[in-house]
Chain A
């Protein structure tokens, strides 16, 4: 794998940071250039064999050896397989229900018992993975990408763009979820998961944008960013190489938790009659149905909520591993 030449990777920021803790660095251009040379020649602190690596390939290298990453990746792979081929581990039909067995506990062949409608909880939990994971992952990706892009740019450049974006976000914060859901999803009538995904992205991006904006505002004050700027690095390079990697941690943390809350939000929407509709099966629908029966049939809640927990756990672990890999200080 050819490694691009990267003279000033953020991994070296420790080398520069102690020089000053206040204003911008006062380096003459020549001095800076010579410094750049020296740094570029020096072996990266983590690069094995003395080869300089890009930040991202470094991170990938780091990730592959992290057991947390391996476990979470396997778990996610398993969930994806189940989402695509649920019949692999569940032979029943999630829509086949027998009301006479309403809320009964586990029975032979039905290890998780039955829900209010007398449907098999195990089969529904397995089949619910598809819709729930699609909603959770796609909505999180959408909101995180859109939010961090807009928020990152706003925080980095400031000025009118920042003001406009922040105020638009404020308006979005004000829209009550229920009102937005009722309007958006009653106008867009479709039985697929995509309107729900779109709605959650629409609602979720302002939060991520604000988090990203805040992180970028802090990160761009760092001395190594000022140094890179003084060295003549362009805005794109500054953002991608120096600011983004140091601002990404809070976004990852929020996004991984949001994945879980988005799946739960889908439940709220279903509960209001505007979310996913039968014959779609989802954890959200089952959790919201089970929630009101918690005193009567806790097993109805336990399994879909447990499946949701495991999914969120996998993504939180993944997020942690990615974040660790991106942070050279933690190596």
Chain B
């Protein structure tokens, strides 16, 4: 049988339609498309895709189940390794992980592993009526700090082994970056809620409104009887560029902008939490968060949205698919440009003019690529005298975050690196006995799946340590 060279296309909402709504962009495979795509898998012997997956899902095995039309069987295989399949199928950068390793990818397009994973998870969520069963308790208690991807994964893995797990979440809703950061059109909140619900069925207790480091300290958790603590508190304070004008009204960090829209639902027609809607928007940065912010701005009614990024398309760190979607929707990419100043409105004749102090534009300088830096990426260098201005009303800074100081400053003996990330060994163990950490709290801004991988590694190490007690 001849190999179909390309992946089956993902059905999408049309760009001109989706640019004005918050519904999911990708609609998902039908069972027919999924079965056909599954048929492209060679089921090769060396299974390189499994090693490409940070949580080592048995990929060929679940794909074989799809071929057999046993979608629930496929789900069971995925859920052995992943606590959040419906999430990963949507937001994992498969093209640089499992799919990059795919044998088929040497000559053709890789098998659409991510799309198949998503299909299987969605199929399970819409067909399965049985609740997950909590296993027999093993008597050990573990506390997890933060309910983002690393925390939920760690909690899920431990709960499946019979640990009594409590997850402490600072915000009012569980999910971490999956609910405050990633927008509805890329990851519907109902899907995150469903995955959280599954964990609760497994016996995981989720306590919202508890800020570890403030409400309770890590040491108090041990005093309360937890034998191990996993810190997955995520990234912290947003970075700014330290250029003039960043305090003008209308300048947001991506964290604030996305939190207002996603967690606080400011995208709704009559929201309780306000956000600036419409007008012209510049998003500074080139990662997935920048794409999310830019596409959110569009959906909030912006007439024009720019991405301002200091390197070229080749260095843009966002997933290719997200960049393509953004381009299709009409986001204007201003590459090799760097902001030097944010301009504000100021009426000299009327100090009470309500527009005073609001953003009126952004001044940028053109860049060219010079020598490669330590990371191998070519360093952008300003082109002298090339400044220009863009008229905008809103500026969103999406240039990364720095670790949150709350836990470090209240946990004696917890060592952090120069950038404030918690130092861990290969098992996720910190400088303190029985305290493990993973995700952005360790690495700084990274991906959902790498955080999940870290949660998984730590869960394994915690199990090994506690089961010997």
Q: Is the A/B pair a real complex?
A: no
A residues lining the B interface (CB < 8 Å): none
